[in-house]
Structure 1
Amino acid sequence: MGFLSSVSNFFFDVGIMSYDILLTLLNLVMKKRRIGHVTPEGHSGYGGYWPEFKPAQEGDSRCSCPALNAMANHGYGRNISFVELNHQIRTTYNFSPSFCSYVPHFAARMLKRSYSKDTFDLAELDLHNGIEHDASLFRLDTALQPNQSTKHIPFIEELLEASTGKDQYGNNVLTTKDLSGILGKRRAVARATNREFSLSFFHRMFGSANSSTLLTIFGGRVNDLRSVVLHERIPDGWESRIRQPYGLTFTHFNKTVLAVEFGVREKDWTEAAQEAARQRATSV
């Protein structure tokens, strides 16, 4: 990356975060969107009507992110422009414009592409230790499963069964504490079983951010998450649980991310994970 590109990226990042703070403040004073009207009229999902669900077939491109895969299973997946990804994330999940601009820009930098001109396939996002990282809630580490679009069903089932919360109707809901606990276990197990394990501070925070979307965008609702995470399908009638007019901003989102990350206790699981790894090794 050249000097001018680095400077340009720096000022872009500063501008995005300043814009994000402004949107956060506007969300505080403006009315929330009405339930049933979170998805904008004229876009997929308005009124709870999503395009036909078509599971991935041979040759389709998918990645390690179930939310993006769910979008792909309803009509997206190959030759996506970074600009279009910006708009689709915004209308589908009601992330803020600042969030939806930054993430595709980051992906374009990672892939060394032009944000405004180039396209990509979802599988390309799984450059190891770019956005994709070890100790996933949904997938084995890359060293153990190179195809990161492959879900590890036992992980997903364990996550969904870990819910301890209830909503007002008595439905199971994941909590911040639930996610912190399962993340701690995932990190301990991955460290014990993957000789190539790595998890930088950046990727620990990124892992907690990915997890936090389950609590924010999906409200922690296990029934919805089972469809999205396990089947990578957006449920009929679903809309984002974020009703703020300018969507989920980084500023607001980071409160949940930090709560999840600061609650992670990997050491609580280390001894059990190491013992399990030893038993597997001796049984082979």
Structure 2
Amino acid sequence: MPSLRKVFENIYIFTYDLFLALFNLCTPKLKVGNVVPHGSVGIAGKWPDFVPPGPGDSRSPCPALNALANHGVLPHDGRNIKFTELAHVARTSFNFAPTFCRYVPSLMADLLHKNYNKDTCDLADLRLHNGIEHDASLTRQDTAFDPDQDKPYIPFITELLGCATGTAEDGTPMLTAADLSRYSGKRRSESRANNPDFTPLDLSHRLAASANTAGFLVIFGGRVVDLELFLKEERIPKGWETKMRSRMGLTFLEFNRTILKVERGIKEEPVAAAESHPAAAV
């Protein structure tokens, strides 16, 4: 049960989030090329060179954090990272609001029984099953089939990107909220049918899963050409900049609109094990 201090902290965060969302509505968006703050890594799409993880490097089930480590925005070895540092790079690299950047790493720290302000973590610590990581991921096999949750499962990602029905401004394929809902429903049905250790997703995990996928839309604009590199190689595309240009970043209030749109569109259709993704039966 959360402490009284944590309750008041969360009340403050979500009240502040409301004010940030209202401020975003009343102010012009940041100009393209000027979203990453001056003095921060990645300004104007200039990211450090990509270096894939080597032996002994720690990685997580989260493509975003892995990509930041692969480019040296986070420590490349993925170890001994302060929770406050996770908050900082999420703010500067992806333009999440200060409220989001405080709440989510703080929640991670709580789940790992650590102190947000003082402690550190390895990226691999985030593989905590049914705490942070969950079944029916769009980019990983279930833990029952592959405990190594730090590596993307390419067949799922290829299938996901192949679902794109939208078209970006430059004419390239683009994922829509409906596409993500459809594939999320498929993955949940497959996991339920094939995984004997499948843990049904409670409300918090369903929303967390939809938040992960909603980020593909809000941060990447659903652009398949960018997401393919980001999800398969966990590499930041050359010249890439977050599509979130609200002046105070992505607030919970704004993000929840997309999260709920994705989650409400998910329909789990019962499937027989033989009908689901063949890789899941391995």
Cα offset, 1:186, TM superposition? 0.2
Contact 2:190 2:277 in 1 (8 A): no
Cα offset, 1:24, TM superposition? 0.2
2:113 is equivalent to residue 112 of structure 1: yes
CA distance in 2, matches of 1:148, 1:212: 20
235, 256, 276: which one pairs with 1:254?
A: 256
Which letter maps to 1:251?
L
Which letter maps to 2:214?
S
Gaps of 5+ in 2: none
CA distance in 1, matches of 2:150, 2:244: 27
CA distance in 2, matches of 1:37, 1:278: 42
Written as runs of structure 1 = structure 2, the 5 A alignment for 1:210-225 is 210-225=212-227
2:54 is equivalent to residue 72 of structure 1: no
Query: Counting helix residues as a fraction of each chain, which structure ranks higher?
Result: 1
CA distance in 1, matches of 2:81, 2:15: 28
Q: Give 1:54's aligned residue.
A: 51
Q: After the TM superposition, which segments of 4 or more aligned residues of structure 1 sit over 2 Å from their partners?
A: 273-281
Q: Give 1:265's aligned residue.
A: 267
- Deviations 1:65-103 (Å, cap 9, x if unpaired)? 101100010112211101111111100000000000101
Q: Give 2:153's aligned residue.
A: 152
- Deviations 1:14-59 (Å, cap 9, x if unpaired)? 1111111110000001111101111111111101110111101110
Q: Give 2:210's aligned residue.
A: 208
Gaps of 5+ in 1: none
Cα offset, 1:172, TM superposition? 0.8
Which letter maps to 1:185?
K
3-state SS in 1 of match to 2:188: helix
Q: Give 2:92's aligned residue.
A: 91
Q: Give 1:35's aligned residue.
A: 32
* TM norm structure 1: 0.94
How many residues align structurally?
277
Which letter maps to 2:205?
H
Q: Give 2:179's aligned residue.
A: 178
CA distance in 1, matches of 2:123, 2:278: 37
Instruction: Provide closer, same or farther for how the CA distance between residues 277 and 258 of structure 1 changes in structure 2, counting only shifts above 3 A.
Output: closer
- RMSD across aligned positions (CA): 1.8
Written as runs of structure 1 = structure 2, the 5 A alignment for 1:223-242 is 223-242=225-244
Give the share of equivalent positions with the same residue, in percent.
Answer: 51
CA distance in 2, matches of 1:100, 1:26: 17
3-state SS in 2 of match to 1:178: helix
